Structure formats: structure tokens, C-alpha cells
Chains A and B, each alone.
Chain A
Amino acid sequence: MFEFCAEPKLLDGFRWLACYLTTAKHGAFYASFGTVLLLLAIAAPSALLFGFFGALSSRSHILPLRWFGRSYIAMVRGVPDIVFFLFVPIALDQLIELIRHKILCPDVLEPIWQGNDFIVCDIAKLPLGTDPQWIHEIYGFGLAVLGFAIVFGAFAGNVIAGAMRAVPKAQIETGSAYGMTNRQIFWRILLPQLWVYALPGLSNLWMILVKATPLLFLLGVEDIVYWARELGGSKTSAYTYAHPDWRVYYFLGLLVFYLLLTFLSEKIFARLMQRLSYGQATMAGKTAKVLS
């Protein structure tokens, strides 16, 4: 990065640190903060979507759909997150490859499971063995996002289903009395109002989601925890920049990052709550002011 970094072993003090903190490896560390934010940016809306459909189907009049919705919420909520995070990406990956194998190479008759090995033909692999590394990384990241969305979707589903029940029944009945159809009642009365009841639960979930992002590390995604551990570990002179065990400083950095993130989230949720409460038939709604 800097010109004086050409001979790192001769440097000391500030210059050494400046060079050390700008290595390509540190670049990957800084970029991994983006990975975490990206995960949140994709996983949170998808979890909300999963939750919304989970909640809707758990209240459906169609019996199989209701069973599906209820068992999804109950099952995922009842199984430890970490089991799901490890299970979903691996099982999904093998399922996709199994299907591709059946379609793409029907003439390969050897069994897919040979002892411990899970073998599909080369063109059925996903991503392909010949694909560049970044495709493998994006694919792994995508599976991780899906894992997060499924797990947090179930929790969100429960929150949203509860919020739907919390909308005052009198309002629904009033809608009915005015001759609204079920669909109209849902779109005009239930949906606009349920958020104010769902928000405390959803903000709670968001905080848990933020704090669960280090689980990415378990799924083999090179996230901030991976890099903090890798960079912080003691380094011998096999590395260009040798240093003792500095993990504590790196993890301190992560601590600050997560605290900032949750602090900022709380502020945003407080504003959102105030806006949603305005004009609502709740305690908060009576005191809420219009935000400019």
C-alpha cells in the first residue's frame, strides 16, 4: 500500500503498524464487515417474508396449508438454531446436487452414496468444480442466508401471527358490518395495523439476528470472526508481519462493531415505533406526535 512497506522486517513503530494494517489480508478482514452487513440486508427481509407467509398459512382456512404453517413455526422454533444452521445448508446442497444428478446424468448408474462418499457426476456439482472460487463463495453465502431466513422466519412468523391476533376485534367486526370482504379487511384493517403490534417482537428478533451473524463462521463463510481469529493469532516469522497473540484486540474491535450496530438499530426502531404508533388505538398511539 505505502511505498515504505517494501521491506516490512526493517520497519518499526507507527510505520510497521501502518503497513501491517493495510496488507491484503487485512483488506479481506475489512471487506468481511461488508459481508456481515450484506447478510443482514438480505436475511432480514427474507426472514420477514418467510415469517409473513408462515403466519398467513398458520391462520389459513385450508387445512394442509395450516398444518404446514404451524409445523414450520413449531419445528424450527423447537430445534436449536445451530443444528438448523448446520443441517439446512448441507442437506440443501446435497438435495440440489442429487436432483441435478438425476436430470443431467441419467446414464450414470453408480450409486450416489458409496460408503462415506457423496458422489454426483461432475456436471451435476453445484457450483461446478471448474467454477472460480468466488462462485463457490457466493453459493456458500447464499445457502447461509437461506438458513438464517428459514430459522428467523419461523420466529418472525410467530410474532406476526400474534400481532394479527392483537389487532382489536371490534375493528374487524366493524369492517365486516360495513360490507367489506375478508380480503378487504385483511388489506385495509389487519395489515396496516399489525406492524405496531409486531414491531417490539420483530425488533427483538433483529437484535438476535445481528448477534447471530458470527454463526456464518460455522458455515465456512469467511466472516469477521474468522478473520479476527486468523489475524489475531500469534504469528512467527513465517509470516511477513510477526506478532504475539493479538486476538484480544481484534475481538475488542468486533465488540465495538456489534455494540455500534445494535445501538444504531435501537435508535432506528424507536423512531419507527413512534411513526407506526401515530393514530393507533394503543397507549403509545395516544402520545405519539407526527414526525416531520
Chain B
Amino acid sequence: MKKLLITAVMTAVMAGPALADTIRMGTEGAYPPYNFIDDNGEVAGFERDLGDELCKRAGLDCVWVTNDWDSIIPNLVSGNYDTIIAGMSITAERDEVIDFTQDYIPPSPSFYAALSGASVDMNGGVIAAQTGTIHADHIAASGATLLEFATPDETIAAVRNGEADAVLADGEFLAPIVAESNGEMEIAGQIALGGGVGMGVRESDGALKDKMNKAIASMKSDGSLNKLIIQYFGDDAGTY
């Protein structure tokens, strides 16, 4: 035991100066296949694999933390974690509060999903979306009645129980849900929204942004990002 302790202390002391910077990666953990908490209780999904690879390339030591979507920006700003890597689309509105790296998922269509056979009025019906998303903004502007929920899962439940006529969300999120609903749900339409998904960092954190930008660029150029996108989002997904 004593020997073990001494070894532990020695390693800690010796590894001290060589330790990489610790970066806390903030994600939502409720948006499969982007990011979710798997059955081992760990953050998993596309962004977990991507984030770990980016950290490796940037020489950073990364820790994963989850945070509710609606407070994910305030908690980044107040320093509870250092990045947002949560399927967040780059928008001008968000860019005023935080900074984005270059996009790591190209702009991809958003889907409307509804119960099979239902006729949905996209511009006049009741459409569910997650609070604080580009989808919620779009519905509010479209003239349809917006039904907001805190989590993506609740937006689906709202369509299933008839509370909403349809749900609007990222295609990559809705496609597997519709495919596995045994015909209960179908894609009722699609629309191009957002300018791609990027990683959010604090505006004052330019160094981290540069490191991550470099790492993303290197993953784009050697094709490993495309491979990851296809692995998680299928062959039809948009790549670089």
C-alpha cells in the first residue's frame, strides 16, 4: 500500500509539468446520435468520438460534462465548462454571445416528423420543437403555433400523444426515430435551416478556438471527419 502511494505521488509529481491542459467539454447528452448518455452512463455519440479525437490532435486533456440545453450557453459563459459541443448550429444570434469554431457538420436539412397519414399544415398547425433551437425560431416566424419543450425527447412524445401535429428537428435526429417507429411516424417534409454545426467557446477564449479550429481543419483534410459523419449519420449525410 505504502509503495503504491509513493509510486502514485511520484507519478503525480513527475507528470505534473507534462500534463496537458484540461478542457471541460459541455454537451447536452440527450440528442442521439449527436450526443447521448449510453447505458454505461457515459457520454457517447458522434460528438463524443469527434471531441475526443479533436482533443487528441490539439494536445488537450478533455473531460465530458452534461448540461441542460436551455442553460448551456449561460453556463459556458460563466465558466462552468470550456466548450459547447452539442449539435449547436452556428447562428448570428448565438455568435453575439459566444464564439464558434468552423463547422464540423455541414448544413443539413431539418425534418418535420408527424404521425403517419396525418395531414400537417406547416405554417398554421401546432409544431413542437426544443426551446432555444433554430427550429423553434423558424416555427415562431412561420406562423404555426410553436409548442416548446426543454428536451428533444419530449418533442417526439408530444407528437406521439397528439399534443402537436408535427415536430421540427435536425434530420439526423429524427430519421432513426421515424425509421424505428414501426410505421407510426413519417417524415412530413423538410427544410434547410442553419449554417452547419460548430463548437461554441467563450468570446474571450481565442486560444482554445484556434486550437480547435486547427484540429477540425486537420480532420477535414485527412478525411477522418467524413468517415465519422458517415459512420454516425449514414451514407447520405452531407460531407466535406
A residues lining the B interface (CB < 8 Å): 23-25, 27-28, 90, 93-94, 97, 114-120, 125, 129-130, 132-133, 136, 220, 229-230, 233-234, 236-242, 245, 247
Cα of A24 to Cα of B41 in the assembled complex, Å = 6
Q: Which residue from B19, B37, B65, B79 sits with its C-beta under 8 Å from A230?
A: B37
> What are 18 A-B residue pairs whose CB atoms fall within 8 Å in the complex?
A25-B39, A25-B41, A93-B78, A94-B78, A97-B79, A116-B203, A117-B77, A117-B204, A120-B79, A129-B23, A130-B22, A133-B65, A136-B65, A234-B156, A234-B157, A237-B176, A238-B32, A238-B36
The residue in chain A whose Cβ has the minimal distance to the Cβ of B156 is: A234
Give chain B's interface secondary structure class.
loop
Given known pairs A117-B203, A245-B160, the reply for A236 and B177 (CB within 8 Å) is yes
B positions within 8 Å CB-CB of A: 19, 22-24, 29-30, 32-33, 36-42, 45, 63, 65, 67-68, 71, 75, 77-79, 82, 97-98, 151, 153-154, 156-157, 160, 176-177, 180, 202-204
A231 to B156, CA, bound (A): 15
If A233-B153, A239-B36 are given as contacts, then 12 extra A-B residue pairs at C-beta distance below 8 Å, sorted by A number, are A23-B39, A117-B204, A118-B77, A118-B78, A129-B82, A130-B19, A220-B67, A230-B37, A236-B176, A238-B36, A241-B39, A247-B157
Whether A117 lies near B202 (C-beta < 8 A) is: yes
By beta carbon, the residue of chain A nearest B32 is A238
Give bound CA distance, A236 to B204, whole Å: 38
- CB neighbours (8 Å) of A90 from chain B are 78
- A240 near B39: Cβ-Cβ < 8 Å: yes
Counting chain A CB atoms within 10 Å of each CB, the highest count among B151, B153, B154 belongs to B153
CA distance A129 to B60 in the complex (A): 13
A134 to chain B, nearest CB (A): 11
Q: Is the CB of A24 within 8 A of B151?
A: no
Is the pair A125, B157 in contact by a Cβ cutoff of 8 Å?
no
